Amino acid sequence: MKNNPVIVEKTFNAPIEEVWEALTDKEKMKQWYFDIVDFKPKISHEFHFLAGPENKQYLHICRITDLFPLKKLAYTWRFEGYDGNSKVNFELFNEGPSSTRLKLTHEGLESFPASNPDLAKENFEQGWNQIIGTSLVNFLSKDEA
């Protein structure tokens, strides 16, 4: 099915600067997202990380395409050795002095091989809901505790 992205929206009890830092500071990212040692928030920068089910790790290859501080971070997302290329967008919306809404859109998932169940849309839906709805929520709320 064409153009059927995964969309996850969540509002955090955190100022927009704090959410932006969580998305762009590699030391903070590894506490809730992935350990991306070569991440730099810079247009055209390519970064890599390993992730996937315990029995099969995939090398993710990403390139930053959009970077608007405190507003949007976007990058391409593909897997080494597999067809397909997708795009991940993180958009931030200031909802008040200490409230930020994040909208994540992951599009182009239909370009990945349908023959590989690990790359099915349902896995991305589950993964992003876990990452944004649990891991990032926990990371941002630990400062309040």
CATH of the domain at 99: 3.30.530.20
Q: Which residues pair with 93 in a beta bridge?
A: 101
d(CA 78, CA 69): 24
In a domain, 1, yes or no: no
Environment class of residue 77 by beta-carbon count within 10 Å: exposed (0-12), middle (13-18) or buried (19+)?
buried
In a domain, 27, yes or no: yes
In a domain, 22, yes or no: yes
Q: What are phi and psi of 121, to 5 degrees?
A: -55, -40
**Counted domains in the chain:** 1
d(CA 117, CA 75): 23
In a domain, 79, yes or no: yes
In a domain, 48, yes or no: yes
Domain residues for the domain of 74 are 6-141
Instruction: Output the tens digit of pLDDT for each of the chain's 145 residues.
Output: 457 899 999 999 999 999 999 999 999 999 999 999 999 999 999 999 999 888 899 999 999 999 999 999 999 999 999 999 999 999 999 998 899 999 999 999 999 999 999 999 999 999 999 999 999 999 999 755 4
